[in-house]
Every structure is written in structure tokens, then in C-alpha cells.
Amino acid sequence: MKKQQGFTLIELMVTVAIISVISAVAVPSYQRYIIKTHRTADGMPILINMMRAQEDYFATEYTYTTNMTHLNFGNDTSEYIIESHKYGIKASTCDSSTPLTACVLLTATGKESQTSDGYLTLDSKGNRTHNGTTGW
């Protein structure tokens, strides 16, 4: 009698099924991890740096600005796209009744592969949100 070599079709199908189940769990988890990593490595630090620039601007001009070129961030007056192209940052008033002399709101909106992360905000009063939920 010949000695069997290789795998049976059943063994291969079981192996493929196991790999499929593991992939179905691991891939989405890894994607969430990557998005969170970009948020903490790209989005949060640039918001903090831009708020520092806003405070420096406020110290000399007695007002905040929505013009990114005044803060030496890029050449677009309305939105600054960070180097990794993962976030676009805009400045605005904190609300419609508060002038720029009192408060500025920075909003980082996810771009490209970071779109599903939504947005981060930081205002000059220190309030931070992620998709409308308090805190980062």
C-alpha cells in the first residue's frame, strides 16, 4: 500500500475556514487601531500646535484668526491640510454669539483613509471633542 502524501480536500477546507474566521475578526480590529494611531500621532498634536500658534497670535493682535497663513500653516487661508494628508484643519468662532476676540475653535476633519474617524475639535477654552463626544 502507498503512503499518503499531501492533504485531503476536507483538511484544506477546514484550514481555509479557520483562516477566514480569524481574518474576519483581525482585519477590522487592525483598521480601527490604524485609525486611532493616526488620530493620536497626527490629529491631536497638530491641533495642540495650532492652538499654541493661535495663542501667540492672540498675544500680539488681541484676537484669534481664521486665516491659516497668519499662523504660518500652509498657504490656504481657510484650511490647512497636514503633511500626511490625514486631516484638514479649519478655525472658526466657538459659536455664533462669541467673537474671535473671545474664543476660537479648531476642527480637524479626517481626510482620505482617515475619513471614518470623523472630526476632532479643540477650542481656546481647552474643550476637546471627538465626533461631538467630550474628550479625545
pLDDT tens profile 96-127: 999 999 999 999 999 999 999 999 999 999 99
pLDDT at residue 70, as a whole number: 93
List the grid coordinates of 122. Answer: 479643540
pLDDT at residue 7, as a whole number: 83
Tell me the average pLDDT across 28-45.
94
Tell me the average pLDDT across 59-82.
91
Q: What percent of the chain has pLDDT over 90?
A: 86
Q: Cα(59)–Cα(110) distance, rounded to whole angstroms?
A: 30
pLDDT at residue 136, as a whole number: 85
Please state, as a whole number, how many other Cβ atoms lie within 10 Å of the Cβ of residue 120. 22
pLDDT at residue 1, as a whole number: 62
